[in-house]
Amino acid sequence: MRFSTIFAAAAAALPAASAPTAVSLLAAGPMDPTPVNVLMMKPGQFNYNWTVTNWEAGCARGGCYYGFDIAADEYTSYPKAPAFKAHCNGQNEGGPYTVCEMQDGGSAARRVAARLLERNSSDPVYIRVSYQYADSQPNAYFNWTGTGETSYNQFVAPPQTFNVTPSEVFGVA
């Protein structure tokens, strides 16, 4: 059974309670019975926002593109998340995540990535941001992902500021 199938089944079984849920799964390998602890949280279980500044985005013949800065303070509730600051550039609605450049000189075991979600005609623009970092336990990491709503503003409006609120969190230990 593939890990993604196990992960999806475990996520679907999460209770609606406000406490994080830890699930112990078998490792992804077919012959490896090592348990893997996975933390999954549903939206609304945490109060944490990331601030996007200097958002500039537009579309041209070659496709759509974006550039922005994103930062967040340390999250001190469980699961703790270190503060971060990054600069992101990317292109193409519906394209893959593009790794952002970390701007704060923190740990090398952190990564921010972003992608434009595909949209229909004049719908708002949605940017999806993922923040992954290593935990203090060996081979453990957390990944927070959130979506922000904005618009294409290049040449028609000044750079924008808005929040991205993480809606998904998972961790593997």
Per-block mean pLDDT, blocks of 10 residues, the chain (173 long): 35 43 42 59 79 95 94 91 96 95 86 93 88 87 94 91 93 82
In a domain, 104, yes or no: yes
Other CB atoms within 10 Å distance of the CB of residue 98 = 16
Supply the pTM of this predicted model.
0.78
State the pLDDT at residue 52. 98
Q: What's the token pair of residue 169?
A: 């969190």
Range of the domain at 81: 46-136+146-165
In a domain, 33, yes or no: no
* Nearest of 116, 111, 9 to residue 57 by alpha carbon: 116
In a domain, 128, yes or no: yes
Instruction: Give me the helices (H) in the chain, please.
Output: 3-12
Alpha carbon distance, N-terminus to C-terminus of the chain: 20
In a domain, 109, yes or no: yes
As for how many domains the chain has, the answer is 1
Determine the Cα–Cα distance for residues 5 and 7; give it in Å rounded to an integer. Answer: 5
In a domain, 170, yes or no: no
State the pLDDT at residue 66. 97
Angstrom CA distances, 120 to 39, 48, 55, 152, stand at: 34, 29, 21, 13
State the pLDDT at residue 103. 96
